[in-house]
Structure 1
Amino acid sequence: MTLEDLLSNAYLALEKAKSRGVETAEVYIVYSEKKGVELHNNKVNRIYTATDAGLGVRVAIGRKVGFSYTNILDENFIVKAIENAISSAKSIPEDIYWMGLPAKEATVGGDIYSPKIAYTDISKLVEVSKTMLSSAVEDKRITVVYGGSSTSVNSKVVVNSEGIEAATRSTVAGVTLELVANEAGDTTPVVFDLLFSRVEVPDYSIVVSKALEKALKSLHPVKLEKQEIPVVFTQIALEELWNFTLMLSLRADAVATKRSPFHNLLNQEIASTNLTLIDNGILPLGLYTESYDDEGVPRRSTTIIEKGILKNFIADTYWGRRMGLKSTGNAVRTSYSQSVRIGFTNLIVELGTTKPEEVINDLSYGLLVDGLQGAHSSNPESGEFSVVATPAWLIQKGEVKPVRGVMLAGNAYELLKKVYVICNNVEQKGHLVAPWIVFESIRTIQR
């Protein structure tokens, strides 16, 4: 299905809404093509190709806003979705904060579309996944719990009654691997690594090598003696913590409703002076880079924290206007079946100059953490968290030894002021583009 096909359906929907007396309407259509191979328990478990398409429509009648969707791009179903959205709008109270849909703006970035990914044959993914599997289990101590490779091609259009016409096509490919190791009766926790690319299927050997190293270095754990120690967060661990705390509290909806502890701290110091955070929706080769957000507003770069000072929040059109701000191009949808919400794109931590090996050699007693269990139960309003660090390793002047059952407890927002070292080894994991970060001290409890 081409972008022209999607635009044709979008304008059909807009016209059908207008013919029913609706002057304010927005149509969002997405079409995705996915291919992949899944590994499970040392076997190829599933080989799949799938397509999905759907339309979401938002209408406003005065200040009453309704939403509906359909997963069938046929005129009758499109009309039904519009009528359902109109009925929804008529049945709900007015939203006194509603100020309309966004208007058209010039874009500042471009999409990332790779024919190399788009035309990758499923046989290539089978080959990659089988090679990952065979490479990992060459070591008889290793079990592949889960893994695989995949590609995705996503086409998206947004049109509205204010003149927006946004059409994007993007690609992404990824490889993942989850392992456990067993030796002499000792079994490690699950460790994993992953790599995604916007231009080609990533080098699976990097993922295999890193996952194997983590698994084998997690065998035969030692005890942790101290309780308040420096902790090194890898990109994976930091993304898991911030995804359920900081990334939620820096959104305009949390700020406007005073659910964010930062709602009255703009232009004040909230972090160490060595910490700068930038949300960059137009980052070259970023995993969440595209020309438009899911309202058709151009993506852009927004400095959130600059040398410890809180400078901005991210916003979509509705919450931006409610706060007297412009949209920062951060409207997202998890599906055509959902209306917009606010979300980060590529959240960049400005790099430091310290190499990771320098941290390992210099720390007299610390903890290296590559994953968190229970981060989803953190409190985004207070910042409080209590998580299990897994996998994790004790660092002692260049020596790295595995530890297990270590709980970390603290406050994610207080940790912002305890950023001790920022390393220089940038990687993107999820929405976070960052190096390792060393926090001065976190309370640890070993069960």
Structure 2
Amino acid sequence: MDIARFALERAGALGAGMAEAYLSAEKELTIEVRDGRVETMKLARDRGLGLRVVQDGRAGFAFTTDLNRAAVEEIVRQAMGNAASTAPDPYRVLPGPAAAYPQLDLYDPAIRQATVEEKIEMARQMERAARNVDPRVKIIETAAYQDAESEVTLVNSRGITSRYRSAYCGLYVSLVATEGDDSQTGFALDYRLHYRELDPWKVGQEAARRAVRMLGARPVATRRAAVILEPYVATGFLGLLGPGLTAEAVQKNRSPFAGKVGQQVASTLVTVLDDGAMAGGIASAPFDGEGVPTGRTVLIEGGVLKGFLHNTYTAARDGVQSTGNGVRGSFKSTPEVGTTNFFIQPGTVSPEQLIRDTASGLYVTEVMGMHTANPISGDFSVGAAGILIENGQLTRPVRGVAIAGNLLELLNHVDGVAGDLTFFGGRGSPTIRVARMSISGH
């Protein structure tokens, strides 16, 4: 806090109209185990100060990892110099303090208190659990435990003085199952805010089952049929949706949702939210990367587009309030508009019921090439793998096919949403069914 105030004081002395100091300190532990032995153990630390200044609408930024006063003075001069080189923009403003911030449980001391040996054993248990599922699980590529803790301090010249501490922990495993000449991969991951909620046996078994169920996979004939997207796959499509729901994309005319607020853009079963203050959310925080309180933003409700995500800049341009979505990667970057805990609201039916109600289709468990999709037009064509659905039953594994379409069309053809909302980091989705999609096979 003293360093932050010193930076603001020096910025003011050099003529900054507004200034903001963002300090963060992070520590991350990664342990990878192979065949019961520790293969990698890495402890990384990162800390520094990012300084934004605004003078007559001109914004400048600089950062440092050296927190002594001489280094801080130098980045104040750099930020002021950078501001002098930019064009004035009346919407470059900093937020003022809020009346209240959400009270969140973000730091579990058990993460730090657990010994390294206990964390290694958790990764070993995950390996053992995977191998116990089926003898065809031959190779454990990665069995990893990870945790991280961070402390953020934000002070600006408009009166914000805020800080918070957070931590998370998680498990990840990837493996290979083989039968004859056939090899199939499987993975599972689970990240939590509380150490005692991690279940290495569950994660290991899930990865093994994912690999084993795909043994013997082969293509199917080209068809148009119902497609059920497993939560991990649906979350991948949701990731394509996120950038288009930011006000920044709309203002730059790079969003398929521009000009559609109040219109039906998805099936009535689809509700999409972003909640930076969600209990248990990996991306939860009391305030965003510029000090605005986080909260729950309904983006699509019952298929109707309700609005967009904002930081202070995009909100000023549109004459609205920031939604608390000024997201920062670290102290080395300025706050951009981004998602926090971003998810599709779960329905009430079970995934099993969705399958039983599907006469013919494909249960998609994996897609390849999602990065090739066009986030502006929404067009996509991706490789897919999964399990064939016949007469309401999962029958045989399928690989070597592609599914293609448009993201908005996909959303409009959703005719089933299950209740199994599952998060993968900061994004989550339940199992969803799309009434008809093009499946390219042989």
Q: Which TM-score bucket, shorter chain as reference?
A: over 0.9
What is the aligned counterpart of 1:103 among 57, 77, 96? Answer: 96
1:43 Cα offset (Å): 5.5
C-alpha contact 2:31 2:38 (8 A) present in aligned 1 = yes
Spell out structure 1 runs of 4+ moving beyond 4 A.
40-43
Find the residue that maps to 2:293 and give its secondary structure: coil
Q: Which residue of 2 aligns with 1:215?
A: 211
1:174 Cα offset (Å): 0.4
C-alpha contact 2:221 2:440 (8 A) present in aligned 1 = no
Q: Which residue of 1 aligns with 2:344?
A: 349
Listed as ranges, the gaps of 5+ residues in structure 2 are: none
* Distance 1:411-1:18 versus aligned 2 partners, 3 A rule: same
1:242 Cα offset (Å): 2.2
1:108 Cα offset (Å): 4.2
1:283 Cα offset (Å): 1.1
C-alpha contact 1:239 1:430 (8 A) present in aligned 2 = no
Letter in 2 for 1:373: M
1:429 Cα offset (Å): 1.6
Give the whole-Å Cα distance in 2 for the aligned partners of 1:395 and 1:297: 47
Give the whole-Å Cα distance in 1 for the aligned partners of 2:193 and 2:81: 40
Is residue 144 from structure 1 mapped to residue 147 from structure 2 by the alignment? no
Listed as ranges, the gaps of 5+ residues in structure 1 are: 1-6
Give the whole-Å Cα distance in 1 for the aligned partners of 2:245 and 2:35: 40
Give the whole-Å Cα distance in 2 for the aligned partners of 1:229 and 1:258: 34
1:16 Cα offset (Å): 1.7
Q: Which residue of 2 aligns with 1:324?
A: 319
What is the aligned counterpart of 2:162 among 139, 146, 166? Answer: 166
Letter in 2 for 1:205: W
Find the residue that maps to 1:360 and give its secondary structure: helix
Give the whole-Å Cα distance in 1 for the aligned partners of 2:128 and 2:36: 9
Q: Which residue of 1 aligns with 2:189?
A: 194
Letter in 2 for 1:225: A
Letter in 1 for 2:84: K
Is residue 431 from structure 1 mapped to residue 400 from structure 2 by the alignment? no
C-alpha contact 2:59 2:92 (8 A) present in aligned 1 = no
Give the whole-Å Cα distance in 1 for the aligned partners of 2:388 and 2:70: 62
What is the aligned counterpart of 1:176 among 166, 172, 175? Answer: 172
Identity of aligned residues (%): 31
Is residue 252 from structure 1 mapped to residue 217 from structure 2 by the alignment? no
C-alpha contact 2:101 2:287 (8 A) present in aligned 1 = no
Letter in 2 for 1:104: P
Find the residue that maps to 2:221 and give its secondary structure: coil
Letter in 1 for 2:143: G
If the length of structure 1 is used for normalisation, what is the TM-score? 0.94
Q: Deviations over 1:381-419 (max 9, x none)?
A: 1001111124x2212222342111121111111111111
What is the aligned counterpart of 1:379 among 364, 368, 374? Answer: 374
Find the residue that maps to 2:195 and give its secondary structure: coil
Q: Which residue of 2 aligns with 1:363?
A: 358
If the length of structure 2 is used for normalisation, what is the TM-score? 0.95
Is residue 17 from structure 1 mapped to residue 6 from structure 2 by the alignment? no
* Distance 1:40-1:326 versus aligned 2 partners, 3 A rule: farther
Is residue 242 from structure 1 mapped to residue 235 from structure 2 by the alignment? no
1:41 Cα offset (Å): 8.1
Q: Which residue of 2 aligns with 1:81?
A: 75
Give the whole-Å Cα distance in 2 for the aligned partners of 1:63 and 1:371: 47
Find the residue that maps to 1:370 and give its secondary structure: strand
